[in-house]
Amino acid sequence: METIKLRDEYIKLGQALKAAGFVPSGLDAKIVIQDGQVRVNGEVTYQRGKKLHDGDVVEFDGEEIRIVG
């Protein structure tokens, strides 16, 4: 499981996928999110700009990212 420490109040979903190295670019993040391949806290999300806060968990391709404040 990857961990991303917040520098601000939140991080956007597309940015988190890139920061964790799950996708190489924002375009790739957009594609996998729009294809329904990404879950936030167990629910499929289609919003690349979804704000992630402390405690959120992102799942993609069998991997997880935990957001910590």
Q: What is the pLDDT of residue 8?
A: 94
Place of tokens 């920061």: 19
Q: What is the pLDDT of residue 50?
A: 97
Domain ranges of the chain: 2-68
- DSSP letter at 34? H
Predicted TM-score (pTM) of this structure: 0.93
Q: What is the pLDDT of residue 37?
A: 98
Q: What is the pLDDT of residue 18?
A: 96
CATH H-level, domain 2-68: superfamily: RNA-binding S4 domain (3.10.290.10)
2-49 residue pLDDT tens: 999 999 999 999 999 999 999 999 999 999 999 999 999 999 999 999
